[in-house]
Amino acid sequence: MSKKNKQLKPDSKAIAGSNTGERKVLRSPDEERTSFKKISIRVFLIVLLSLLAGKKVKEEKVVEEKPKRLTLKEKAKIVSETKAANKALAATPPGAFASIIPAPKLYSLSLISLCKAIADGLTRISAIPEFSTCSPSVSFVSDIYDNLFALVSIATKDLTSSQKIDIKVYAKQLRQNFMLIAYSCAALSLGNIKLFGLTSIATRKKGYVHKKQLGACVFKLSAKSGKGKIKVVIEKMAYAKNYTIFYGVGDYDKATWNTKTGTATQIISDFLVPGVLTNFFVIANGYAGPGITSDPIGIYVPYN
């Protein structure tokens, strides 16, 4: 038999390959079992690490989804910043005015995000004096928030059927009532976008400058602020930058009467004489200049 046609022994370390002359290495059964074990161990470790990594991510996600209340320190910081911004705002022109339409987009938020947004909004609104008469009140909406927060804080697997229904009810009530409070604050802003912006609630329309002359103011006088003092309370007007109070004895005389410009509530004490009947009228100032002069009102300056 020629060397070319000589058969290879079965226990040889190699066998003939394809016609290209490729040779493949044969391994003994023991070597095959050892190799299989090594591969199995590697696969097992890879799968185990993947499961552990997935579990870790899941656990981290659960931690992130847990609701958190604003701490007293966080609330105090928000209130302080809002009051400071409002104080600075009062010393600057209102800027552009608009018919304010709130758009907080509450229905696109998850329950956790909803609680966070409401807590922030209510804290800011409560820090703004101009919104103290908003309806519904901050305390009313806060009660609904507390009820929802208590249920959202419970793990889903531990919720009863009744509690799951309560969550839906409280979430709906919270969204509806916060929308009402947002619209109330918009109305109390009297078109002042910068003032409404302190709530951090988004709006739908951009502002525009009101260039028409403002109408006559409606105001009241009070002699209960102390000796020689008169309190002037003006009904706020949309698009008014500030208000100028004119006061003096008898008919208006530019040479003898005095003026004071400021907010809608002012206390007049300069140049007032106790026991003397003093007349007042008010003008609202807008971007077009002074508004229409109000009718005058007289009052006696108090002695005590």
Q: What is the DSSP string of 182-234?
A: HHHHHHHTTTBHHHHHTTT--BSS--B---SPP----EEEES-S-TT-EEEEE
Which among 20-24, 40-44, 67-71, 178-182 has the top mean pLDDT?
178-182
Predicted pLDDT of residue 283: 98
Q: Are 190 and 160 in contact (CB under 8 A)?
A: no
* Backbone dihedral angles phi then psi of residue 100, each to the nearest 5 degrees: -80, 125
Q: Are 292 and 303 in contact (CB under 8 A)?
A: no
d(CA 69, CA 72): 9
Of the chain, the percentage scoring pLDDT greater than 90 comes to 65
d(CA 284, CA 216): 7
Predicted pLDDT of residue 287: 83
pLDDT band at 36 (very low <50, low <70, confident <90, very high): low
Predicted pLDDT of residue 304: 85
Predicted pLDDT of residue 210: 80
Domain at 219-300, CATH class: mainly beta
Element holding 44 (H helix, E strand): helix 29-65
pLDDT band at 276 (very low <50, low <70, confident <90, very high): very high
Q: Are 97 and 239 in contact (CB under 8 A)?
A: yes
Nearest-5° Cα angle at 24, 20 to 29: 160
User: What's the alpha-carbon Rg for the chain, to the nearest Å?
Assistant: 38
List where CATH 2.60.40.10 sits in the chain. 219-300
How do residues 153-193 score in pLDDT, each as one tens digit? Answer: 998 899 999 999 999 999 999 999 999 999 999 999 988 88
Report residue 101 as tokens: 């339409």
pLDDT beyond 70 at 279: yes
